[in-house]
Structure 1
Amino acid sequence: MNHFAIEGRKFLFNGNEIQLISGAIHYFRVVPEYWRDRLLKLKACGFNTVETYLAWNVHEPKQGQFCFTGAADIVRFIEIAAELELHVIVRPSPYICAEWEFGGLPSWLLAEDGMRLRCNYQPYLDLVDAYYDTLMPLLVPLLITNGGPIIAMQVENEYGSYGNDRNYLDYLRQGMIRRGIDVLLFTSDGPEDHMLQGGSLPGTLATANFGSRPEESFGKLSEYEPNNPLVCMEYWNGWFDHWGEEHHVRGYDDVADVLDRILKSGASVNFYMFQGGTNFGFYNGANFFDKYEPTVTSYDYNALLSESGEVTPKYFAIRDVISKYADVPADLLPEPLPKTGYGVVRMTEQARLFDVLHTLSNPVESVYPETMEKLGQDYGFILYTTRVSGPRPRSKVVVQEVRDRALVYVDQAYQGVIERNSHSLSLQIGDDDIAIEVPSGGTTLSLLVENLGRVNYGWKMHDPKGITEGVRLERQFLYDWTIHPLPLDDLSGLVYQPIAAANANEGPTFYRGTFEAAELADTFLNMEGWTKGVVFINGFNLGRYWEIGPQKTLYVPAPLLRVGDNEIVVFELHGMQEASVTMQANPDLG
């Protein structure tokens, strides 16, 4: 039986001092067929440990319905790590941040009026308990105390950046212990006084998250952990991207230098990220500091491995540093996975959203607009439609509050976009506002609202989607709505029509095309010329694209393809230059 323990400032593994050199890989951002490849590359770089978050919304997508199979098979991911003789750090906090949708919290939490998140609020704790009652028994056999590879588990994540409810932290800690978790427990926070005070817990190892100035950061951590090992639980060696900004890059010389200083000090480290992976589907999160900023589909993170798992110059620079402090296995690095371009794929069929609503959604009649969560919807889009009497003079369409982007239609004719960041609730009609004049016979007003990702960090996390209060024409609220939830989780019932050149840009429309694959390889879908939407490959939701960048291509792992016919469906919100996409061998991150 292996043993992992603390002795003063040291970690001991089977009685011998060990410096943890860990890298983060999120199983839920990598297709399962590639888990072994990514873990093998981590070991080949000299890492002795892998760390992963557990995403609650992946494992309990609907309340009481649990999933631990396929891409959610966390047990198998940990077992593969064990087969490669890697230690495992698990961070199963109800909240994980991770730039993941709602910080890993399930959207259905917001269906309850008055829900309080991440505090000692019993209705919230009851739901955490129900999740942990299912999750923890799966992890207990994998603990090092039971012969498994898990050496440590996290109690909560960066809690000091959010709150200071020590009773809540202790409730989580005791709940883990009560369910058989008897390995090292820890917290992780930024190296600032208020964060460490709010997020740490007596009897639990405090660790720090930072990307630079390790001496300063460890100095602050030492004030709170004077007698235990120092750990950087998140060494930010890259960064993530929001839509509309430049792709973040951090040079490997700087990253290698900071790592060298961390390891030279004797501290342990966890790279965030070793590989970032992909926010497939609608799982990207968002930030809100001064404004709402959704994260792109790619979670490349400018990490040691690219989004598609390829080694980078940063990988080799880090391997060289690690080799100064630990043995690096020789001849372990696997061959690169094949990449190819399948060429141009033409969309030959289309299905206009307003024509196929009955196959995608069961309408709900409501006096007032309801949020997605109130209707049991997690992600995607939601369409609100009402009849407005006339005549009325030109009046401003006001949405209180739009979460996050609404396309406005009058009698199915496009009027414009209402954006969360720029929409004013005042009566004054600005240049970017939408105003309509209603004829005497009345008109039909429709708003197609996109959930661009729930806030994953900070004080704006309570972020229900759709229309949260109401819709006004000038100062009058409009009532009696027909609502179509559009999670887009099943497109199999769509009936398509051939595309005609005269109507290739019909607003929100599904476009379908096929291509042949003689051999399977990773590829990248270039969406140049398209405006904004979502792409599905063989029914799998690859994620969003948007012409504002920085991301220009969507990563398509080979396991999503099949030999022979393959289907691409593009849900385009606005229109494109040409109804075709290009499948190429290399990415374009902007």
Structure 2
Amino acid sequence: MERVSWQPLALLLLAAAAAVASGTEVGYDGRSMVIDGERRLLISGSIHYPRSTPEMWPDLIRKAKEGGLDAIETYVFWNGHEPRRRQYNFEGSYDIVRFFKEVQDAGMYAILRIGPYICGEWNYGGLPAWLRDISGMQFRMHNNPFEQEMETFTTLIVDKLKEAKMFAGQGGPIILSQIENEYGNVMDKLNNDESASEYIHWCAAMANKQNVGVPWIMCQQDQDVPPNVINTCNGFYCHDWFPKRTDIPKIWTENWTGWFKAWDKPDFHRSAEDIAFSVAMFFQTRGSLQNYYMYHGGTNFGRTSGGPYITTSYDYDAPLDEYGNIRQPKYGHLKDLHNVLKSMEKILLHGDYKDTTMGNTNVMVTKYTLDNSSACFISNKFDDKEVNVTLDDGATHVVPAWSVSILPDCKTVAYNSAKIKTQTSVMVKRPGVETVTDGLAWSWMPENLHPFMTDEKGNFRKNELLEQIATSGDQSDYLWYRTSLEHKGESNYKLHVNTTGHELYAFVNGKLVGRHYAPNGGFVFQMETPVKLHSGKNYISLLSATIGLKNYGALFEMMPAGIVGGPVKLVDTVTNTTAYDLSNSSWSYKAGLAGEYRETHLDKAKDRSQWRGGTIPVHRPFTWYKATFEAPTGEEPVVADLLGLGKGVVWVNGNNLGRYWPSYVAADMDGCRRCDYRGTFMADGDGQKCLTGCNEPSQRFYHVPRSFLKAGEPNTMVLFEEAGGDPTRVSFHTVAVGAACAEAAEVGDEVALACSHGRTISSVDVASLGVTRGKCGAYQGGCESKAALAAFTAACVGKESCTVRHTEDFRAGSGCDSGVLTVQATC
């Protein structure tokens, strides 16, 4: 008998044992997450893998780690992974395993928010539209069709990540998993409390059955909390929130760093001071894990990635901007806070604590003590006055309005949330290479509307007006409704259409006769347009379009789209009465456009003869345009400036950059005329502030990731211009730091300035003690310090970054008593 060696088997067993031994044990108690037996204070940030590219992931994750983050959090995007039932996509930006491996390689933890309902300003909240085709389906309620599909997808994701050994117990980075999302916000609005309660408890049981080896969380689930899950907080502030049970830690899953933007809204900005205030207050009040939503917002690439009327940009005013650049001072100010909090980790998580209100509930001192050490927070929630607070040692500390001072030894203030010590960066867009800025050579192709101008060819017919999402399966933004009628003689009418769609185009006998779109949030409008019918057969073609699907609210999937029910009628122009009600006529249905079926955006070789050169028509609706260009040199992020276009979709080298609509001008709102970090930040109502971009195009710059571009060879941009625009105004730019400023630096501070992407400081323009006008990038001096200007010029010019200590010597000869220094440099 052949002798079998025991060594390979023994080695395998040892390897398996080592793998198990290398796993991380994750638990929790009433103070914090417990990792390998140690309580941990954790700071996390959201980076959504489909809103960037795999090539961007390592840099984004590295910057997050350097910013003081311990973990990366992401949703899982069901409709991106399963766009059609049982047809899966885990390639490119949807390679979730690769994303988590990048997190692991960076030495960071990960938080997996499966949902699979995610909201996220994402089409249908991440739920695939094909769910509606399943008999008996009720979204997010206790019914077998939904729960079966939800469990199937959840198990698929869990098994895929288990296979890759991505959970902490396997040695992977994932320390928390989430099931469902913000269900507590809608439970009492679902009209069936029993079904809602059964569903959320089923979710918890199903999740725990997955045996992932890490705790499960449910955010915004403050009522009817299932056992064996941790309920968590979402919002701009969570210091006043506490979990339902005392045996689970206080976790903040979403600290909103800004706000999403709709086509009719200006840009939202949440100040670095206010975010720092919220974080400091959270950890002052026994917080243990906080996640920034978003840390990098990114881009809504493709048509399935944005909710209703949400712009392509999902910048979110995050510490890393849409393109992956560091947003200063937000990034640096929070990094400084993280460093201070981490230095206090042990005392915050193990120490005894005492809260003392200082004569008013708006002012509170919290003292943590452990053995012979102590740490203190002093918070001032007044938004209109600073306060003087005297601690036990007799020392008095001045705390600015709406701020928190942190004293790691209860003696010296190491950090105040209102005092920014890091630089402010002004990002500028520079023209690309000459071949780009000199103008692009365009060709064009008309969208073939002819097949849709009659009702003779369609997918099916129905004697009623159907709902758009269920009819099209959301495989396109567009659905054609077409009918015909016999008419005697010539007559003029008003075509009246009632729709719940977002846009509507009307054609009569092949001619475009009207276009209308709903204001954001309306989604119900009437279009009336004059039409002329001839004798004989007349054709009416209505093109309904959606601009993203509803993603939030109770029963959001029941919100209709399209010309469901109508009515559609022809109104007599003389009597103003209905001459023809076409609502129950025979309607022919067809989803999509001819160019979508032909995949015109891919610029296939067999289709290239269809493109026309010569004089390019502009302001022509339903037109395709194409141009080639060279990629701008360097490594700076690239953007396409689409100002001058109307509305449509843009591709580069076949990659969908998203919907564009620069002709939509953002509303004028009071928040554009006032900005003060002090006071509660609000995204709705009269309290809005610090807005920019009122009366400007909602979005004109569109991210073109470097990985979409080919260096040294032609790149192809294809536009589908739906509304009619001028492509000859399109140009490309790169984005980088243009000016770097340090403000309010005090004597003894280390003042650091930095450019980006290899650019160096070309000049130091301002070094002022106490008197400056304007803002960073356009400061005017006053009380100039020649000594400071000389020191910064010598240390900084020609370098990508520099650090100079602010000393008393800078005040010599300046004529100013202030020790506060402002410096501006040009990159």
1:352 aligns with 2:446: yes
Say which of 174, 180, 185 aligns to 2:216. 185
Question: CA RMSD for the aligned pairs?
Answer: 2.7
Q: Deviations over 1:216-258 (max 9, x none)?
A: 2x2xx34x23332101111111111011111111111111121
What residue identity is the alignment partner of 1:532? K
Q: Is the 8 A contact 2:52 2:298 kept in 1?
A: yes
**2:656 matched to which residue of 1?**
541
**1:581 matched to which residue of 2?**
730
Q: Deviations over 1:422-441 (max 9, x none)?
A: 68778xxxxx6224232223
Pairing of 1:33-48 with structure 2 (within 5 A) = 33-48=55-70
The total of aligned residue pairs comes to: 554
Pairing of 1:457-536 with structure 2 (within 5 A) = 457-459=552-554, 460-463=556-559, 465-470=561-566, 472-474=568-570, 475-477=581-583, 478-486=585-593, 488=596, 490-491=599-600, 492=602, 494=607, 496-499=610-613, 501=615, 503-517=617-631, 519=633, 521=635, 522-536=637-651
**1:558 matched to which residue of 2?**
706
Q: Is the 8 A contact 1:397 1:472 kept in 2?
A: yes
What residue identity is the alignment partner of 1:271? Y
Q: Structure 1 residues 153 and 258 mapped into 2: Cα distance closer, same or farther (>3 Å)?
A: same
Q: Structure 1 residues 52 and 92 mapped into 2: Cα distance closer, same or farther (>3 Å)?
A: same
Say which of 103, 107, 110 aligns to 2:132. 110
Q: Deviations over 1:405-433 (max 9, x none)?
A: 1122223322222334568778xxxxx62
What residue identity is the alignment partner of 2:166? L
Q: Is the 8 A contact 2:640 2:704 kept in 1?
A: yes
Q: Deviations over 1:110-166 (max 9, x none)?
A: 234653101111111121122233222112331112221111111210001122512
**2:718 matched to which residue of 1?**
569
Ranges in structure 2 where 5+ consecutive residues have no aligned partner: 1-22, 188-192, 345-426, 571-580, 665-696, 737-827
**2:297 matched to which residue of 1?**
276
Q: Is the 8 A contact 1:389 1:438 kept in 2?
A: no
1:304 aligns with 2:328: no
TM-score (norm 2): 0.63
Distance 2:39 2:228 in 1: 22
**1:407 matched to which residue of 2?**
505
Q: Structure 1 residues 415 and 327 mapped into 2: Cα distance closer, same or farther (>3 Å)?
A: farther
Pairing of 1:166-181 with structure 2 (within 5 A) = 166-181=197-212
Say which of 435, 440, 445 aligns to 2:535. 440
**2:515 matched to which residue of 1?**
417
Q: Structure 1 residues 327 and 585 mapped into 2: Cα distance closer, same or farther (>3 Å)?
A: farther
Distance 1:317 1:457 in 2: 32
SS in 2 for 1:110: helix
1:382 aligns with 2:482: no
TM-score (norm 1): 0.87
- Deviation, 1:265, is 3.0
Distance 2:107 2:727 in 1: 50
Distance 2:286 2:71 in 1: 16
Q: Structure 1 residues 502 and 61 mapped into 2: Cα distance closer, same or farther (>3 Å)?
A: closer
Say which of 341, 344, 352 aligns to 2:432. 341
Pairing of 1:202-217 with structure 2 (within 5 A) = 202-212=227-237, 214-216=238-240
**1:333 matched to which residue of 2?**
none
Deviation larger for 115-124 or 175-184: 175-184
1:229 aligns with 2:249: yes
**1:96 matched to which residue of 2?**
118
1:321 aligns with 2:429: no
Distance 2:294 2:55 in 1: 20
Q: Is the 8 A contact 1:279 1:299 kept in 2?
A: yes
Q: Is the 8 A contact 1:58 1:67 kept in 2?
A: yes
Identity %: 28
Q: Structure 1 residues 572 and 347 mapped into 2: Cα distance closer, same or farther (>3 Å)?
A: farther
Q: Is the 8 A contact 2:298 2:322 kept in 1?
A: yes
Distance 1:312 1:518 in 2: 22
Higher Cα Rg, which structure: 2
SS in 2 for 1:235: strand
Q: Deviations over 1:491-521 (max 9, x none)?
A: 2455533255484333211111111237464
Higher relative contact order (CA 8 A, sep 6+): 1
SS in 2 for 1:512: strand
**2:778 matched to which residue of 1?**
none
Say which of 150, 158, 179 aligns to 1:155. 179
Distance 1:278 1:172 in 2: 30
What residue identity is the alignment partner of 2:87? Q
Q: Structure 1 residues 502 and 132 mapped into 2: Cα distance closer, same or farther (>3 Å)?
A: closer
Ranges in structure 1 where 5+ consecutive residues have no aligned partner: 190-194, 287-292, 329-335, 427-431
What residue identity is the alignment partner of 2:724? G
Deviation larger for 570-579 or 202-211: 570-579
Q: Structure 1 residues 356 and 135 mapped into 2: Cα distance closer, same or farther (>3 Å)?
A: farther
